[in-house]
Amino acid sequence: MAYNIQEAKELVVEAGKKLLETGLIARTWGNVSARISDTQFVITPSGRAYETLTPDDIVVVNIADCSYDGDIKPSSEKGVHADAYRLRPDENFVIHTHQIKASVVGAAGKNIDVPEKYSKLFGDCVPVADYGMPSTSKLRKAVETAYADYPNSKAILMKQHGAVVTGNSFEEAFEVVSELENLCEEKIQKAYMLYEGTPEYSYKGMLNSYIKSVGTGKMPKQIADFGESVRIGSKFEIHFKNGKSFTVDVKTAKTTSEEKLPAVAMIHSEIYKSSDVSYIKHLTASEMVAVSVAQNTILPRLDDFAQIAGTKIKSFKWDGSRAAAKMAAKAAKGNNAVLISGAGALCTGTKESDLDAVELIMSRECQTHIGSVFFGGGDSLSPLDANIMRIIYQTKYSKKAE
Protein backbone atom coordinates (compact mmCIF):
# COMPACT_ATOMS: atom_id res chain seq x y z
CA MET A 1 0.00 0.00 0.00
CA ALA A 2 1.35 3.43 -0.97
CA TYR A 3 2.29 5.96 1.69
CA ASN A 4 0.61 9.30 2.21
CA ILE A 5 2.80 12.11 0.93
CA GLN A 6 3.98 13.46 4.29
CA GLU A 7 4.82 10.03 5.68
CA ALA A 8 6.65 9.13 2.46
CA LYS A 9 8.78 12.27 2.60
CA GLU A 10 9.65 11.70 6.25
CA LEU A 11 10.61 8.08 5.59
CA VAL A 12 12.81 9.05 2.64
CA VAL A 13 14.65 11.57 4.84
CA GLU A 14 14.98 8.95 7.60
CA ALA A 15 16.28 6.35 5.16
CA GLY A 16 18.92 8.72 3.77
CA LYS A 17 20.26 9.48 7.24
CA LYS A 18 20.15 5.82 8.28
CA LEU A 19 22.04 4.79 5.14
CA LEU A 20 24.73 7.35 5.98
CA GLU A 21 24.98 6.08 9.55
CA THR A 22 25.42 2.49 8.40
CA GLY A 23 27.98 3.40 5.73
CA LEU A 24 25.86 2.14 2.84
CA ILE A 25 26.02 5.56 1.17
CA ALA A 26 28.31 8.57 1.48
CA ARG A 27 28.06 12.24 0.57
CA THR A 28 25.25 12.63 -1.99
CA TRP A 29 25.87 9.23 -3.59
CA GLY A 30 22.76 7.11 -4.16
CA ASN A 31 19.08 8.03 -3.87
CA VAL A 32 15.91 6.99 -2.04
CA SER A 33 12.23 7.08 -2.98
CA ALA A 34 8.76 6.04 -1.77
CA ARG A 35 5.50 5.47 -3.66
CA ILE A 36 2.61 7.80 -2.81
CA SER A 37 0.07 6.53 -5.37
CA ASP A 38 -0.28 4.43 -8.50
CA THR A 39 0.98 7.42 -10.48
CA GLN A 40 3.50 9.22 -8.26
CA PHE A 41 6.45 8.77 -5.92
CA VAL A 42 8.69 11.05 -3.87
CA ILE A 43 12.48 11.01 -4.19
CA THR A 44 15.62 12.64 -2.80
CA PRO A 45 16.77 15.81 -4.59
CA SER A 46 19.79 16.01 -6.86
CA GLY A 47 23.14 16.79 -5.23
CA ARG A 48 21.96 17.66 -1.72
CA ALA A 49 23.55 16.31 1.45
CA TYR A 50 21.51 13.69 3.30
CA GLU A 51 22.51 15.06 6.71
CA THR A 52 20.54 18.27 6.19
CA LEU A 53 17.56 16.99 4.18
CA THR A 54 14.07 17.89 5.37
CA PRO A 55 10.69 16.67 4.09
CA ASP A 56 10.36 19.96 2.21
CA ASP A 57 13.40 19.01 0.08
CA ILE A 58 11.84 15.75 -1.14
CA VAL A 59 10.45 15.93 -4.68
CA VAL A 60 7.17 14.54 -6.05
CA VAL A 61 7.70 12.76 -9.40
CA ASN A 62 5.22 11.31 -11.88
CA ILE A 63 5.81 7.63 -12.71
CA ALA A 64 4.66 7.88 -16.32
CA ASP A 65 7.06 10.52 -17.61
CA CYS A 66 9.32 11.51 -14.66
CA SER A 67 7.99 15.07 -14.66
CA TYR A 68 8.03 16.64 -11.22
CA ASP A 69 6.45 19.29 -9.05
CA GLY A 70 8.20 22.39 -7.72
CA ASP A 71 11.57 24.07 -8.24
CA ILE A 72 13.78 21.45 -6.57
CA LYS A 73 15.36 19.06 -9.07
CA PRO A 74 14.92 15.35 -8.26
CA SER A 75 17.70 12.77 -8.39
CA SER A 76 19.05 12.22 -11.88
CA GLU A 77 18.32 8.48 -11.43
CA LYS A 78 14.57 9.11 -11.02
CA GLY A 79 13.90 6.98 -14.10
CA VAL A 80 15.33 3.88 -12.40
CA HIS A 81 12.89 4.43 -9.53
CA ALA A 82 9.96 5.17 -11.85
CA ASP A 83 10.49 1.89 -13.69
CA ALA A 84 10.54 -0.03 -10.42
CA TYR A 85 7.16 1.37 -9.41
CA ARG A 86 5.72 0.88 -12.91
CA LEU A 87 6.87 -2.73 -13.31
CA ARG A 88 6.39 -3.74 -9.67
CA PRO A 89 3.02 -2.44 -8.46
CA ASP A 90 3.42 -4.06 -5.04
CA GLU A 91 6.70 -2.30 -4.29
CA ASN A 92 6.55 0.97 -2.34
CA PHE A 93 10.16 1.83 -1.51
CA VAL A 94 13.33 1.95 -3.62
CA ILE A 95 16.94 2.53 -2.54
CA HIS A 96 19.93 3.01 -4.84
CA THR A 97 23.40 2.79 -3.24
CA HIS A 98 27.07 2.59 -4.12
CA GLN A 99 27.74 0.21 -1.23
CA ILE A 100 31.15 -1.43 -1.11
CA LYS A 101 30.70 -5.20 -1.35
CA ALA A 102 27.82 -4.99 -3.83
CA SER A 103 29.98 -2.74 -6.02
CA VAL A 104 32.84 -5.25 -5.89
CA VAL A 105 30.62 -8.14 -6.98
CA GLY A 106 28.68 -6.09 -9.52
CA ALA A 107 31.87 -4.97 -11.26
CA ALA A 108 32.61 -8.62 -12.09
CA GLY A 109 29.39 -8.72 -14.10
CA LYS A 110 28.17 -12.06 -12.80
CA ASN A 111 24.77 -12.84 -11.30
CA ILE A 112 24.58 -14.17 -7.75
CA ASP A 113 22.88 -17.51 -7.20
CA VAL A 114 21.26 -16.86 -3.85
CA PRO A 115 21.91 -19.36 -1.00
CA GLU A 116 18.81 -20.81 0.61
CA LYS A 117 19.17 -18.77 3.81
CA TYR A 118 18.75 -15.56 1.77
CA SER A 119 16.21 -16.77 -0.80
CA LYS A 120 13.11 -15.64 1.09
CA LEU A 121 14.40 -12.08 1.00
CA PHE A 122 16.10 -11.98 -2.42
CA GLY A 123 14.55 -14.72 -4.49
CA ASP A 124 16.73 -17.23 -6.35
CA CYS A 125 19.01 -14.75 -8.09
CA VAL A 126 20.48 -11.28 -7.73
CA PRO A 127 21.12 -10.23 -11.35
CA VAL A 128 23.66 -7.77 -12.73
CA ALA A 129 22.27 -5.07 -15.02
CA ASP A 130 24.48 -4.20 -17.99
CA TYR A 131 26.66 -1.11 -17.73
CA GLY A 132 25.52 2.36 -18.63
CA MET A 133 26.95 5.71 -17.63
CA PRO A 134 25.16 7.34 -14.67
CA SER A 135 21.91 9.18 -15.42
CA THR A 136 21.73 7.89 -19.01
CA SER A 137 18.95 6.14 -20.88
CA LYS A 138 21.34 3.21 -21.40
CA LEU A 139 21.67 2.66 -17.65
CA ARG A 140 17.93 3.07 -17.13
CA LYS A 141 17.14 0.57 -19.88
CA ALA A 142 19.62 -1.96 -18.47
CA VAL A 143 18.02 -1.82 -15.02
CA GLU A 144 14.52 -1.90 -16.52
CA THR A 145 15.45 -5.10 -18.37
CA ALA A 146 16.71 -6.65 -15.12
CA TYR A 147 13.48 -5.68 -13.34
CA ALA A 148 11.49 -7.39 -16.09
CA ASP A 149 13.69 -10.48 -16.47
CA TYR A 150 13.96 -11.13 -12.72
CA PRO A 151 10.58 -10.05 -11.32
CA ASN A 152 11.09 -11.88 -8.03
CA SER A 153 14.47 -10.39 -7.23
CA LYS A 154 14.43 -7.59 -4.67
CA ALA A 155 17.99 -6.52 -5.49
CA ILE A 156 19.79 -5.71 -8.72
CA LEU A 157 23.51 -5.05 -9.05
CA MET A 158 24.37 -2.27 -11.50
CA LYS A 159 27.58 -3.20 -13.29
CA GLN A 160 30.42 -0.84 -12.31
CA HIS A 161 27.94 1.50 -10.63
CA GLY A 162 26.26 0.16 -7.47
CA ALA A 163 22.98 -1.51 -6.59
CA VAL A 164 19.25 -0.83 -6.46
CA VAL A 165 16.79 -2.59 -4.17
CA THR A 166 13.02 -2.56 -3.84
CA GLY A 167 10.66 -3.36 -0.98
CA ASN A 168 6.97 -3.27 -0.19
CA SER A 169 7.88 -0.98 2.73
CA PHE A 170 10.67 1.15 4.13
CA GLU A 171 11.50 -1.66 6.56
CA GLU A 172 11.74 -4.35 3.89
CA ALA A 173 13.80 -2.21 1.50
CA PHE A 174 16.25 -1.38 4.26
CA GLU A 175 16.54 -5.04 5.24
CA VAL A 176 17.26 -5.95 1.63
CA VAL A 177 19.92 -3.28 1.16
CA SER A 178 21.61 -4.24 4.43
CA GLU A 179 21.55 -8.00 3.81
CA LEU A 180 22.76 -7.47 0.23
CA GLU A 181 26.09 -6.34 1.65
CA ASN A 182 26.32 -9.51 3.74
CA LEU A 183 25.37 -11.68 0.76
CA CYS A 184 28.04 -10.03 -1.41
CA GLU A 185 30.69 -10.34 1.30
CA GLU A 186 29.99 -14.08 1.46
CA LYS A 187 30.22 -14.25 -2.33
CA ILE A 188 33.65 -12.59 -2.25
CA GLN A 189 34.93 -14.90 0.46
CA LYS A 190 33.71 -18.01 -1.35
CA ALA A 191 35.27 -16.84 -4.62
CA TYR A 192 38.63 -16.48 -2.88
CA MET A 193 38.36 -19.90 -1.18
CA LEU A 194 37.45 -21.56 -4.47
CA TYR A 195 40.31 -19.80 -6.27
CA GLU A 196 42.85 -20.90 -3.66
CA GLY A 197 41.26 -24.29 -2.99
CA THR A 198 41.16 -23.58 0.72
CA PRO A 199 38.32 -24.30 3.19
CA GLU A 200 39.06 -21.20 5.26
CA TYR A 201 38.79 -17.49 4.50
CA SER A 202 41.50 -15.06 5.55
CA TYR A 203 41.55 -11.39 4.51
CA LYS A 204 45.33 -11.34 4.82
CA GLY A 205 45.52 -14.51 2.74
CA MET A 206 43.27 -12.96 0.10
CA LEU A 207 45.50 -9.88 -0.19
CA ASN A 208 48.64 -12.00 -0.55
CA SER A 209 46.92 -14.23 -3.12
CA TYR A 210 45.91 -11.15 -5.11
CA ILE A 211 49.46 -9.76 -5.08
CA LYS A 212 50.86 -13.12 -6.18
CA SER A 213 48.31 -13.35 -8.99
CA VAL A 214 48.80 -9.92 -10.58
CA GLY A 215 52.28 -8.75 -9.62
CA THR A 216 55.29 -9.35 -7.45
CA GLY A 217 56.28 -8.48 -3.91
CA LYS A 218 54.45 -8.87 -0.63
CA MET A 219 52.60 -6.84 1.96
CA PRO A 220 55.09 -4.70 3.92
CA LYS A 221 55.47 -5.21 7.65
CA GLN A 222 55.78 -1.46 8.20
CA ILE A 223 54.80 1.56 6.12
CA ALA A 224 56.64 4.86 6.23
CA ASP A 225 54.51 7.86 7.19
CA PHE A 226 54.08 10.20 4.21
CA GLY A 227 52.16 12.75 6.26
CA GLU A 228 49.01 14.81 5.95
CA SER A 229 49.13 18.49 5.01
CA VAL A 230 47.14 21.64 4.30
CA ARG A 231 48.26 24.58 2.17
CA ILE A 232 48.04 28.02 3.80
CA GLY A 233 49.06 30.71 1.34
CA SER A 234 52.69 30.27 0.33
CA LYS A 235 53.29 27.64 3.03
CA PHE A 236 51.82 24.33 4.12
CA GLU A 237 51.47 22.62 7.46
CA ILE A 238 52.40 18.95 7.49
CA HIS A 239 51.53 16.57 10.30
CA PHE A 240 52.87 13.11 11.09
CA LYS A 241 51.52 10.23 13.15
CA ASN A 242 54.31 10.61 15.72
CA GLY A 243 52.78 13.96 16.66
CA LYS A 244 55.37 16.14 14.97
CA SER A 245 54.23 19.04 12.77
CA PHE A 246 56.10 21.49 10.55
CA THR A 247 55.33 24.70 8.69
CA VAL A 248 56.99 24.42 5.30
CA ASP A 249 57.59 26.84 2.45
CA VAL A 250 55.84 25.52 -0.68
CA LYS A 251 58.49 26.79 -3.07
CA THR A 252 61.64 25.73 -1.21
CA ALA A 253 60.32 22.80 0.88
CA LYS A 254 62.21 24.22 3.87
CA THR A 255 61.13 24.88 7.44
CA THR A 256 62.39 27.15 10.20
CA SER A 257 61.91 24.41 12.79
CA GLU A 258 64.96 23.14 14.63
CA GLU A 259 63.62 19.60 14.14
CA LYS A 260 64.77 17.81 11.01
CA LEU A 261 62.08 17.94 8.35
CA PRO A 262 61.27 14.47 6.91
CA ALA A 263 62.19 14.21 3.24
CA VAL A 264 58.61 13.28 2.29
CA ALA A 265 57.72 16.96 2.73
CA MET A 266 59.29 17.45 -0.71
CA ILE A 267 56.47 15.38 -2.20
CA HIS A 268 53.84 17.68 -0.70
CA SER A 269 55.80 20.73 -1.89
CA GLU A 270 56.01 19.47 -5.47
CA ILE A 271 52.31 18.54 -5.59
CA TYR A 272 51.29 21.97 -4.28
CA LYS A 273 53.56 23.70 -6.80
CA SER A 274 52.10 21.80 -9.73
CA SER A 275 48.37 21.95 -8.85
CA ASP A 276 45.68 24.01 -7.14
CA VAL A 277 44.93 21.44 -4.41
CA SER A 278 45.01 22.55 -0.77
CA TYR A 279 44.99 19.20 1.06
CA ILE A 280 47.07 16.02 0.86
CA LYS A 281 46.61 12.82 2.88
CA HIS A 282 48.46 9.50 3.05
CA LEU A 283 46.13 6.48 2.77
CA THR A 284 47.28 3.17 4.24
CA ALA A 285 44.23 0.88 4.29
CA SER A 286 45.39 -2.68 3.62
CA GLU A 287 43.54 -2.99 0.30
CA MET A 288 45.26 0.17 -0.96
CA VAL A 289 48.65 -1.05 0.18
CA ALA A 290 48.08 -4.38 -1.57
CA VAL A 291 47.20 -2.66 -4.84
CA SER A 292 50.23 -0.35 -4.50
CA VAL A 293 52.43 -3.44 -4.14
CA ALA A 294 50.93 -5.30 -7.11
CA GLN A 295 50.08 -2.60 -9.65
CA ASN A 296 51.71 0.45 -11.20
CA THR A 297 48.44 1.92 -12.48
CA ILE A 298 44.77 1.84 -11.58
CA LEU A 299 42.34 2.08 -14.47
CA PRO A 300 38.82 2.67 -13.11
CA ARG A 301 36.44 -0.26 -12.85
CA LEU A 302 33.84 1.83 -10.98
CA ASP A 303 32.33 4.91 -12.59
CA ASP A 304 32.36 7.08 -9.47
CA PHE A 305 36.07 6.35 -9.04
CA ALA A 306 36.68 7.89 -12.45
CA GLN A 307 34.60 10.87 -11.40
CA ILE A 308 36.12 11.49 -7.98
CA ALA A 309 39.69 10.12 -8.06
CA GLY A 310 40.66 10.23 -11.72
CA THR A 311 40.82 8.37 -14.99
CA LYS A 312 44.29 6.83 -14.60
CA ILE A 313 45.95 6.61 -11.20
CA LYS A 314 49.70 6.19 -11.58
CA SER A 315 52.43 5.07 -9.20
CA PHE A 316 55.77 6.48 -8.09
CA LYS A 317 58.71 4.97 -6.22
CA TRP A 318 60.02 6.92 -3.26
CA ASP A 319 63.76 7.02 -2.63
CA GLY A 320 63.96 10.26 -0.66
CA SER A 321 65.16 12.38 -3.57
CA ARG A 322 63.88 15.59 -5.12
CA ALA A 323 63.62 13.74 -8.43
CA ALA A 324 61.26 11.19 -6.88
CA ALA A 325 59.18 14.00 -5.37
CA LYS A 326 58.87 15.60 -8.80
CA MET A 327 57.87 12.21 -10.22
CA ALA A 328 55.13 11.98 -7.59
CA ALA A 329 53.76 15.38 -8.55
CA LYS A 330 53.85 14.46 -12.23
CA ALA A 331 52.01 11.18 -11.54
CA ALA A 332 49.38 12.99 -9.47
CA LYS A 333 48.74 15.76 -12.01
CA GLY A 334 45.14 15.84 -13.25
CA ASN A 335 43.94 13.29 -10.70
CA ASN A 336 43.11 13.29 -6.99
CA ALA A 337 45.17 10.23 -6.06
CA VAL A 338 48.56 8.72 -6.72
CA LEU A 339 49.92 5.32 -5.69
CA ILE A 340 53.09 5.10 -3.61
CA SER A 341 54.81 1.89 -4.67
CA GLY A 342 54.39 -0.55 -1.77
CA ALA A 343 53.08 2.09 0.65
CA GLY A 344 49.45 2.86 -0.18
CA ALA A 345 48.48 6.15 -1.80
CA LEU A 346 48.26 9.90 -1.46
CA CYS A 347 44.94 11.62 -2.06
CA THR A 348 44.46 15.31 -2.74
CA GLY A 349 41.65 17.84 -2.76
CA THR A 350 40.78 21.50 -2.92
CA LYS A 351 38.55 21.01 0.16
CA GLU A 352 39.00 18.81 3.20
CA SER A 353 35.79 16.97 2.33
CA ASP A 354 37.39 15.95 -0.98
CA LEU A 355 39.88 13.82 0.95
CA ASP A 356 37.09 11.85 2.61
CA ALA A 357 35.41 11.24 -0.74
CA VAL A 358 38.61 10.11 -2.45
CA GLU A 359 39.55 7.88 0.48
CA LEU A 360 36.15 6.15 0.39
CA ILE A 361 36.13 5.58 -3.34
CA MET A 362 39.82 4.57 -3.39
CA SER A 363 39.08 1.83 -0.86
CA ARG A 364 36.12 0.58 -2.90
CA GLU A 365 38.03 0.65 -6.18
CA CYS A 366 40.99 -1.25 -4.70
CA GLN A 367 38.66 -3.88 -3.24
CA THR A 368 37.08 -4.19 -6.69
CA HIS A 369 40.46 -4.80 -8.32
CA ILE A 370 41.27 -7.41 -5.70
CA GLY A 371 37.90 -9.12 -6.08
CA SER A 372 38.18 -9.27 -9.86
CA VAL A 373 41.05 -11.75 -9.56
CA PHE A 374 38.91 -14.27 -7.70
CA PHE A 375 35.76 -13.74 -9.77
CA GLY A 376 37.74 -14.04 -12.99
CA GLY A 377 35.83 -11.20 -14.60
CA GLY A 378 35.29 -7.49 -14.88
CA ASP A 379 36.69 -4.79 -17.13
CA SER A 380 37.95 -1.26 -16.79
CA LEU A 381 35.72 1.54 -18.02
CA SER A 382 36.42 2.77 -21.52
CA PRO A 383 38.77 5.80 -21.55
CA LEU A 384 36.03 7.82 -23.26
CA ASP A 385 33.41 7.06 -20.60
CA ALA A 386 35.90 7.67 -17.80
CA ASN A 387 36.95 11.05 -19.18
CA ILE A 388 33.39 12.18 -19.82
CA MET A 389 32.37 11.36 -16.25
CA ARG A 390 35.46 13.02 -14.80
CA ILE A 391 34.74 16.24 -16.67
CA ILE A 392 31.05 16.26 -15.74
CA TYR A 393 31.83 15.61 -12.09
CA GLN A 394 34.46 18.35 -11.86
CA THR A 395 32.33 20.95 -13.60
CA LYS A 396 28.98 20.09 -12.07
CA TYR A 397 28.53 17.53 -9.31
CA SER A 398 31.55 18.35 -7.13
CA LYS A 399 30.07 21.82 -6.62
CA LYS A 400 26.74 20.32 -5.60
CA ALA A 401 28.40 18.05 -3.04
CA GLU A 402 29.16 21.07 -0.91
User: What average pLDDT score do residues 259-274 get?
Assistant: 97
Q: Are 157 and 377 in contact (CB under 8 A)?
A: no
pLDDT tens for residues 55-67?
A: 999 999 999 999 9
Question: Residue 90 — left, alpha, or beta (φ > 0 → left; ψ -120 to 50 → alpha)?
Answer: alpha
pLDDT tier for residue 398 given thresholds of 50, 70 and 90: low
pLDDT tier for residue 28 given thresholds of 50, 70 and 90: low
pLDDT tier for residue 397 given thresholds of 50, 70 and 90: low
DSSP state of 397: I
Q: Are 358 and 336 in contact (CB under 8 A)?
A: yes
User: What average pLDDT score do residues 333-346 get?
Assistant: 97
User: What average pLDDT score do residues 21-32 get?
Assistant: 76
Structural domains of the chain, with CATH: 5-196 (3.40.225.10), 228-400 (3.40.225.10)
Which of these, 268, 259, 281, lies nearest to 235 by C-alpha position? 268
pLDDT tens for residues 62-118?
A: 999 999 988 999 999 999 999 999 999 999 999 999 999 999 999 999 899 999 999
Average pLDDT of the chain to the nearest whole number: 93
pLDDT tier for residue 366 given thresholds of 50, 70 and 90: very high
Helix (H, G, I), strand (E, B) or coil at 103: helix
User: What average pLDDT score do residues 320-344 get?
Assistant: 97
Which of these, 139, 131, 130, lies nearest to 75 by C-alpha position? 139
In this predicted structure, the answer to whether residue 361 has a pLDDT above a threshold of 50 is: yes
Which residues sit opposite 128 in a β-bridge?
A: 157
Give the model's pLDDT for residue 177. Answer: 94
